[in-house]
Chain A
């Protein structure tokens, strides 16, 4: 089975801090994704990466950046955290190429910005 691991289940940070959310997958997947989930808004795509050192903006990239230095690891960075970035963050991965395979998700990181 695919295993997608997010480093923290719960995280509390202060406004203005630089925040790193880490995600690791163990299936050699090319594609990795970061979503945020808010009540009533469903899952919204922040950034995705289809290969090492490659990244693409999703639907709501503002205030975020990402890093993909190794294939198995995809990091989400909040450069200067703000209270409106309090949310549940979900990482997902999927194999590469032309594929209809579904995404596999991590357990999520619930981030609170005070």
Chain B
């Protein structure tokens, strides 16, 4: 079935550093979603993107809907210890389709 690829698979960064991760698909999507999952919790929606080229911020987080509609990017500025968790991208090709999830990027922040 349809797969999403996330890169990198895991990251270890120093507190205060900026973080970049991306998500790619072989198909065109009309919706991109970014979720964060804290250890032992369910995923929580961070940002939703609905238009190619769209750039949306949520505090220190910024996500972009790629121009090709086959990718999306998430940036975290000035990371802090509570940013630790797994970041999932998700997408939907049309409004009728199921949401597809990427395998996640695991982020560790070293104080």
Residues of A in contact with B (beta carbons under 8 Å apart): 4, 6, 9, 35, 40-43, 45, 48, 58-59, 90, 98-108, 110
Contacts and interface: CB of A to CB of B under 8 A. Distances in A.
B107 to A, nearest CB: 15
B48 A102 contact: yes
Interface of B: 1, 30-31, 33, 35, 40-45, 48, 50, 88, 90, 92, 95-96, 98-99, 101-104
Nearest to A44: B101
Secondary structure dominating the interface of B: loop
Given A6-B42, A98-B95, 9 more contacts: A35-B101, A43-B43, A90-B42, A98-B96, A102-B48, A103-B99, A105-B35, A105-B42, A108-B41
A12 to B, nearest CB: 16
